């Protein structure tokens, strides 16, 4: 009883809040109440960089020498010196890190699809039941069970490292020399591999 009363009161308060936000009228599927609003910028000035008084997370003198608060989310935390324009020796620069994060996000989205799709396709009967596994039974978490692939997990790991290493090496070459991948012979696919070194 108490739980029903709690749910009922929370639903009532949610409806009342929605009515207050959207004009106080009763909502209906047939109602066509028009409303207009104007969005204005709070300020036309560019954002001011955070100064030395900003919150710092385990900052060091070295990291504060180049992390001056001009970047979003700059709390001075850089124990590996990845954002140091000089300490990285030119191997890792902030642009490369931003370029890499775009690809990390794309791989994460592909991974989410790869985790969800087998379950959906299995329930629709589009793939064999033995391959319609939940993602946690595919070998990602060994105690949860593994699928018996065509090769042992060590062989698959080495192959994955080789193929991904090759792809990442070519991506790095395209970043440092835009368009260079379209000039190297690659089984007749050169015209499709021109690359742009663009992050979008």
170 annotated ligand-binding residue: no
Is residue 180 within 8 Å of 195, Cβ to Cβ? Answer: yes
Distance (Å, whole) CA 153 – CA 159: 10
Q: How far is CA 175 from CA 20, 53, 109, 166, 189, in A?
A: 52, 36, 22, 14, 19
| Token pair 């775009």 in the structure block, residue | 102
101 annotated ligand-binding residue: yes
106 annotated ligand-binding residue: yes
Neighbours of 170 (CB within 10 A): 16
44 annotated ligand-binding residue: no
Binding residues for chlorophyll a: 83, 101
Binding residues: 83, 101, 106, 187
Binding residues for chlorophyll b: 106, 187
């Amino acid at each position: 009883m108490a739980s029903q009363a709690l749910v009922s009161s929370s639903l009532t308060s949610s409806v009342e809040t929605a009515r207050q936000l959207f004009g106080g009228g009763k909502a209906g599927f047939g109602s066509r109440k028009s409303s207009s609003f104007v969005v204005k910028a709070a300020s036309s000035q560019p954002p001011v960089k955070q100064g030395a008084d900003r919150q710092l997370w385990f900052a060091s003198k070295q990291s504060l020498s180049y992390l001056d608060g001009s970047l979003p989310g700059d709390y001075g935390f850089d124990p590996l010196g990845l954002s140091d324009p000089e300490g990285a020796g030119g191997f890792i620069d902030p642009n490369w890190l931003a370029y890499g994060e775009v690809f990390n996000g794309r791989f994460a989205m592909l991974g989410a699809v790869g985790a969800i799709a087998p379950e959906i396709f299995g329930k629709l009967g589009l793939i064999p039941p033995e391959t319609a596994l939940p993602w946690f039974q595919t070998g990602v978490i060994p105690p949860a069970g593994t699928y018996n692939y065509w090769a042992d997990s060590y062989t698959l790991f080495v192959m994955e490292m080789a193929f991904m290493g090759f792809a990442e090496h070519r991506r790095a070459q395209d970043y440092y020399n835009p368009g260079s991948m379209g000039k190297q012979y690659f089984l007749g696919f050169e015209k499709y591999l021109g690359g742009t070194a663009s992050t979008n």
